[in-house]
Amino acid sequence: MKTQVGIIGGGPSGLLLSQLLHLRGIDNVILERRSRDYVLGRIRAGVLEHGFADLMREAECGARMDAEGEIHDGFYIAHNGIKERIDLNGLTGGNSVVVYGQTELTRDLYEARDKMGGNIIHNAEDVKPHDMTSDAPYLTYRSGGEIKRIDCDYIIGADGFHGVSRKSIPSDKIKEFERIYPFGWLGILSRTKPVSPELIYAKHERGFALCSMRSQQLSRYYIQVPLDNTVDDWSDGQFWDELKMRLPTEVSAGLITGPSIEKSIAPLRSFVAEPMRYGNMFLAGDAAHIVPPTGARGLNSAASDIYYLFHALLDHYKKGDDSGLDGYSEKALARVWKAQRFSWWMTTLLHSFPSNSDFDNHLQQTDLEYLFSSKSAMASLAENYVGLPF
């Protein structure tokens, strides 16, 4: 088989790029290791910055997001028994975010790909990129015991943190930067009305908590837990009790609890791989960078990579101009590092760090007091949360 762009990974990054390229007449194939049901079974983030929402519309995948997603003009930070609002709209001159689950967004992208006859090969085993530094790179994969080959002009590694693309780059050609946090987030999904119409990020000495949602009937809550905890350590009852303790009483009094329909623990990690290019293979999304979820940047950083990559490929195929491809890694990384800084900062501001000294805790408290005493500090938070310009 031959195509122009061979994409490894059918998560949001790969699907969005595939859809955008196809709409502009650029042929592409996605190789996805898992089944579609598996990909759609993963519960991930749920906050989209407006630039991402625009990209979904450009990809002709925005209809359900616009109908069912909720526009949020602000969110709360709870601390010391009170909650204070970050007015995203007022502080950014009219910007906001869209609350719409990654699962739904992925479903919309799959549906759009199906409608256009997009080529997505599921259950592709042993995917490997070859000859990345040549003008004739290709991909191989195994399907039903047979090895198949796809020749292409470019390979896109959109296969997430554990994918094969980044790992196929010789170690002396890539540098990795990493921070692992000494805790994880235990998350549950429950068919209950969210406790608040806007998200609440809560700092508490027992640990961080987050009240989020997927819709007005579906809530998503998280609590910070030690790294060695497993989901079996937490019954639904224990989860709700702990969550209540970490929220101001005015909030916990209104919390509607119910059975969890999903429960999982995610470790927190900051990670960047540089550069995001090796020959004619380009990395995008989680394949190249991971943020702790506190600033809701993960999916959004993937979207900005796709935006840059889409325009770079468009310039190559439509104008014979390779400057976008040549500048991709540098441009994408500049924004990625800003998302890293913000995510690290929000995480540091709001979590309990077991190794913190009294001095560290005092600084953390002062950081919060400063935030709510300064319109500029709040505006800086808001500008990062709604997404820096592409």
Length of the chain: 390
- Taking the C-alpha atoms of residue 103 and residue 105, their distance in angstroms, rounded to an integer, is 5
Q: What is the nearest approach in angstroms of ligand PHB to the Cβ of residue 278? A: 31
Q: Which residues bind ligand PHB (CB under 6 A)?
A: 45-47, 199, 212, 220, 293-294, 296
Task: Return the closest-CA partner of residue 340 out of 188, 178, 221, 189.
Answer: 178
Task: From the list ligand PHB, ligand APR, none, pick the one residue 127 interacts with, judged by a Cβ distance below 5 to 8 Å according to partner type.
Answer: ligand APR
| Residue 4, Cβ density class (10 Å: 0-12 exposed, 13-18 middle, ≥19 buried) | middle
Q: What is the nearest approach in angstroms of ligand PHB to the Cβ of residue 26? A: 32
Contact in structure between 251 and 239 (CB atoms under 8 Å): no
Nearer to ligand PHB, 307 or 385 (CB): 385
Q: What is the nearest approach in angstroms of ligand APR to the Cβ of residue 298? A: 2
Q: What is the nearest approach in angstroms of ligand PHB to the Cβ of residue 277? A: 29
| Residue 366, Cβ density class (10 Å: 0-12 exposed, 13-18 middle, ≥19 buried) | exposed
**SS3 sequence of 289-305:** EECCHHHCCHHHHHHHH
Task: From the list ligand PHB, ligand APR, none, pick the one residue 46 interacts with, judged by a Cβ distance below 5 to 8 Å according to partner type.
Answer: ligand PHB
Nearer to ligand PHB, 156 or 255 (CB): 255
Strands (E), 70-208: 70-72, 75-79, 82-86, 97-99, 119-121, 125-130, 138-143, 146-151, 154-157, 175-190, 200-202
Task: From the list ligand APR, ligand PHB, none, pick the one residue 139 interacts with, judged by a Cβ distance below 5 to 8 Å according to partner type.
Answer: none
Torsions phi, psi for 316 (to 5 deg): -65, -50
Q: What is the nearest approach in angstroms of ligand APR to the Cβ of residue 389? A: 20
Task: From the list ligand PHB, ligand APR, none, pick the one residue 207 interacts with, judged by a Cβ distance below 5 to 8 Å according to partner type.
Answer: none
Angle at 387 between CA 385 and CA 390, to 5 degrees: 165
Q: What is the nearest approach in angstroms of ligand APR to the Cβ of residue 286? A: 4
Nearer to ligand APR, 89 or 140 (CB): 140
Q: Which residues bind ligand APR (CB under 6 A)?
A: 8-14, 31-34, 39, 44-45, 102, 124, 127, 158-160, 162-164, 285-286, 298-299, 302
Task: From the list ligand APR, ligand PHB, none, pick the one residue 242 interacts with, judged by a Cβ distance below 5 to 8 Å according to partner type.
Answer: none
What DSSP element (H or E) covers 206?
A: none
- Taking the C-alpha atoms of residue 176 and residue 135, their distance in angstroms, rounded to an integer, is 26
Nearer to ligand PHB, 9 or 292 (CB): 292
Task: From the list ligand PHB, ligand APR, none, pick the one residue 194 interacts with, judged by a Cβ distance below 5 to 8 Å according to partner type.
Answer: none
